[in-house]
Amino acid sequence: MSGQFSGILKGGLPQTDKFLYMESYGCQMNFSDSEIVASVMADLGYGVTDELARADVVMINTCSIRENAEQKVRARLQHFRSMKRHKPSMIIGVLGCMAERLKSKLLEQEQLVDLVVGPDAYKDLPGLLEQVQGGQQAVNVLLSREETYAEIAPVRLGSNGVTAFVTIMRGCDNMCSFCVVPFTRGRERSRDPHSIYKECQELWSQGYKEVTLLGQNVDSYRWQVPKASAGKDAGLTYWFADLLAYIASISPDLRVRFSTSHPKDITDEVLHTMARHNNLCKNIHLPVQSGSSKVLARMNRTYDRPWYLQRVEAIRRILPDCAITTDIIVGFCGETEEDHRETLSLMEMVRFDSAYMFAYSERPGTLAARKYPDDVSEEIKKRRLAEVMALQDQHSSERNQEEEGQAHQVLIEGKSRRSDQDWCGRNSRNKMVVFPGHANASKDELIAGIKMLPGTYVDVVVHCSTKATLLGQVSKFEEVHI
């Protein structure tokens, strides 16, 4: 998974006198999990608040992917603990990957929290909370081979009412040598496609217009319908391409995105399915990690540079308009200057639309931590990261310039962050587009412009861009269909 976020999660729950305050860190999957937790807590009568001082229970959904992610969480926990001194009844819980990695150490050595719950144990929260309320500490970090929370209806937190995340699988079986995720999130398992469909259809009927299907490695999605099942698909296997087509069929006006793809598993079938459906958005997040085959082998990514480039070629051939984004790690164990230059040269060849870039951070217990010394100095990591980032900035700007002069179908998400005179939304390629709203519109445009609300599609002609944003003007004010 990619894209590291953090945020306080606000919810809109019915009247209640018990409050949950939640912060989430890390990947989109964590934000999606927090919505499952909010649902379990709602059943216990807790409403979500964004005011820490009002909270009866404080939960922090954590990330272990790099050391600095854990440091951020520790600082927050210290803060919560100092608040607890004034309000001893307040319960502090750690959820997610750090809970799984550190287990009861968080209770014993560090005494920072009352409750530790791993990613597969959220259904156990009622019992665990009861234990804490009875004066004990509580921990459940059992990983499961089956848990997908398929039947839990998430409480949408911090929602714009237009876009939502839907988890389609959990865990990861890949064992990339740098990565802690297989240890914190356990074995890979897929969720029943019918429950995914139902969740997406409900979102659609509530007015949502875009779903992002989440998994650590969506291309290995696989669900076998039991032979004895009553449905007409009894005995069939759903692969990722089948799931995409199934979800896309909910409505041609429901956009479908997904993340994350794996270069070793992404099939032409997926690409052809994307080509067949306009509402399958044309953006693929395909982490490369390194441009050097030698480094990729040490990372245990199970593909090499030519394989990755051949997958990019397939995307360009089958989906000429598709954006490609990536993740890159610099300074992995044994990375030489030549390996680093290979990463830069691969970037030049692909010219990614955008990228998340990281310096390697050794994680305890991973294959790399056990097998290879973390032998690239911090100084070199920093310099290589700066080089990779500078090159990516250039490519992001150039890729965005290529979008200028074209009309884009944009799904309005809300007011732009910079100005409430402007709207913002994304095009199919997941690029943020900002354009003037009512304040700058002519009278005729204003009359038509009442339709410009979050959740409507508009055509925007892009006239300029930065490395992060496209700027444009609405060319068609009526609601358009994709």
> Between 212 and 216, whose beta carbon lies closer to ligand SF4?
216
Tokens at 311, concatenated: 């997958």
Task: Tell me the DSSP string of 320-370.
Answer: TT-EEEEEEEES-TT--HHHHHHHHHHHHHH--SEEEEEE----TTSHHHH
- Residue 184 as a binder of ligand SF4 (CB under 6 A): the answer is no
Q: What is the rounded CA–CA span in Å between residue 242 and residue 144? A: 26
360 binds, among ligand 5AD, ligand SF4, none (CB under 5 to 8 A by kind): ligand 5AD
Give the number of residues written for the chain.
482
> Between 101 and 262, whose beta carbon lies closer to ligand SF4?
262
Shortest reach from residue 180's CB to ligand SF4, in Å: 8
361 binds, among ligand SF4, ligand 5AD, none (CB under 5 to 8 A by kind): ligand 5AD
Tokens at 361, concatenated: 């951070």
172 binds, among ligand SF4, ligand 5AD, none (CB under 5 to 8 A by kind): ligand SF4
- Residue 96 as a binder of ligand SF4 (CB under 6 A): the answer is no
Q: What is the rounded CA–CA span in Å between residue 445 and residue 456? A: 15
- Residue 216 as a binder of ligand SF4 (CB under 6 A): the answer is yes
122 binds, among ligand SF4, ligand 5AD, none (CB under 5 to 8 A by kind): none
275 binds, among ligand 5AD, ligand SF4, none (CB under 5 to 8 A by kind): none
Q: Is residue 29 within 8 Å of 47, Cβ to Cβ?
A: no
Footprint on this chain of ligand 5AD (rule: CB under 6 A): 1-2, 65-66, 178-179, 287, 289, 327, 329, 358, 360-361, 363
End-to-end CA distance of the chain: 27
- Residue 261 as a binder of ligand SF4 (CB under 6 A): the answer is no
Let me know if 294 is exposed, middle or buried by CB neighbors in 10 A (0-12, 13-18, 19+): middle
157 binds, among ligand SF4, ligand 5AD, none (CB under 5 to 8 A by kind): none
Residues 162-181 that bind ligand SF4 (CB under 6 A): 172, 174-176, 179, 181
What does the radius of gyration of the chain's CA atoms come to, in whole angstroms? 23
Q: Is residue 7 within 8 Å of 26, Cβ to Cβ?
A: no
Q: How many CB atoms are closer than 10 A to CB 263? A: 22
Shortest reach from residue 271's CB to ligand 5AD, in Å: 21
- Residues near ligand SF4 (CB under 6 A) are 172, 174-176, 179, 181-182, 216-217, 262
